[in-house]
Amino acid sequence: MSSIISIQNLSKTFGSSFKALNDISLDIQRGEIFALLGPNGAGKTTLISIICGIANISQGRITVGGHDINSDYRAARSLIGLVPQELHTDAFETVWATVSFSRGLFGKPRNPAHIEKVLKDLSLWDKKDNKIITLSGGMKRRVMIAKALSHEPQILFLDEPTAGVDVELRKGMWEVVRSLQASGVTIILTTHYIEEAEEMADRIGVINKGEIILVEDKATLMEKLGRKRLKLHLQGKIDAIPPQLAPYKLELSDGGCELTYDYDTKGERTGITSLLSDLRNAGIRFSDLDTMQSSLEDIFVSLVRTSAAEHTR
Amino acid sequence: MNFEAVRAIYLFEMARTWRTLLQSIVSPVVSTSLYFVVFGAAIGSRITSVEGVSYGTFIVPGLVMLSVLTQSIANASFGIYFPKFVGTIYEILSAPISYFEIVLGYVGAAATKSIVLGLIILATAGLFVPLQIHHPWWMLTFLVLTAVTFSLFGFIIGIWADGFEKLQMIPMLVVTPLTFLGGSFYSVNMLPSGWRTITLLNPVVYLISGFRWSFYEIADVSVALSLGMTTAFLVICMIVVWWIFKTGYRIKN
* A59: β partners: A11
Q: Are strands A186-191 and A33-37 parallel, antiparallel or unpaired?
A: parallel
The amino acid sitting at B183 is: G
Give me the interface pTM, i.e. the ipTM: 0.84
B12 → closest Cβ in A82, A101, A106: A101
Question: What is the Cα A141 distance to its own chain's centre?
Answer: 17
**How does pLDDT run across A158-193, given as a tens digit for each residue?**
998 877 677 777 888 888 889 899 999 999 998 877
**How does pLDDT run across B51-89, given as a tens digit for each residue?**
888 888 888 999 899 889 988 999 999 999 999 888 899
Nearest to A94 by CA among A120, A137, A126: A126
Contacts A–B by Cβ distance under 8 A: 76
A3-223 and A227-293 share one fold:
no
Give the pLDDT of residue A62. Answer: 95
CA distance A193 to chain B (A): 24
pLDDT band at A103 (very low <50, low <70, confident <90, very high): very high
Query: Across the interface, do A104 and B90 touch by the CB < 8 Å criterion?
Result: no
* A131: β partners: A94
pLDDT band at A312 (very low <50, low <70, confident <90, very high): low
For helices A95-105 and A112-121, the axis angle rounded to 10 degrees is 120
DSSP annotation of A202: S
Nearest to A29 by CA among A221, A250, A166, A181: A181
Domain ranges across chain A:
3-223, 227-293
Question: Between A231 and B250, whose confidence is greater?
Answer: A231
B7 → closest Cβ in A80, A89, A104: A104
**How does pLDDT run across A34-78, given as a tens digit for each residue?**
999 888 888 899 999 999 998 888 899 999 999 999 999 999 999
**How does pLDDT run across B158-193, given as a tens digit for each residue?**
999 888 888 888 888 888 888 888 888 888 888 888
Q: Are strands A155-159 and A186-191 parallel, antiparallel or unpaired?
A: parallel
Percent of chain A with pLDDT over 90: 43
Question: Between B162 and A310, whose confidence is greater?
Answer: B162
Q: Is pLDDT above 80 for B147?
A: yes
Question: Between A259 and B251, whose confidence is greater?
Answer: A259
CB-CB contact of A65 with A4 (8 Å) = yes
CA distance B30 to chain A (A): 26
CA distance B1 to chain A (A): 9
Nearest to B187 by CA among B71, B47, B37, B33: B47
B88 → closest Cβ in A14, A89, A103: A89
The amino acid sitting at A214 is: L
* Chain B residues inside the 8 Å CB shell of A50: none
Nearest to A133 by CA among B148, B86, B119: B86
* Residue B87 near chain A (CB below 8 Å): yes
Average pLDDT over all residues of chain B: 88
Fold of the CATH domain A3-223: Rossmann fold (3.40.50)
**How does pLDDT run across B213-242, given as a tens digit for each residue?**
999 988 888 889 999 999 999 999 999 999
Q: Which CATH architecture has domain A227-293?
A: 2-Layer Sandwich (3.30)
Query: Across the interface, do A106 and B96 touch by the CB < 8 Å criterion?
Result: yes
* A34: β partners: A188, A203
Q: Is pLDDT above 70 for B114?
A: yes
Average pLDDT over all residues of chain A: 87
CB-CB contact of A69 with A22 (8 Å) = no
Strand ranges in A221-311 using DSSP code E only, listed in sequence order: 227-234, 251-253, 258-264, 286-293
HEC profile for chain B? CCHHHHHHHHHHHHHHHHHCHHHHHHHHHHHHHHHHHHHHHHHHHHCCEECCEEHHHHHHHHHHHHHHHHHHHHHHHHHHHHHHHHCCHHHHHHCCCCHHHHHHHHHHHHHHHHHHHHHHHHHHHHHHCCCCCCCHHHHHHHHHHHHHHHHHHHHHHHHHCCCHHHHHHHHHHHHHHHHHCCCCCCCHHHCCHHHHHHHCCCHHHHHHHHHHHHHHCCCCCCHHHHHHHHHHHHHHHHHHHHHHHHHCCCCCC
**How does pLDDT run across A116-143, given as a tens digit for each residue?**
999 998 889 999 999 999 998 888 988 9
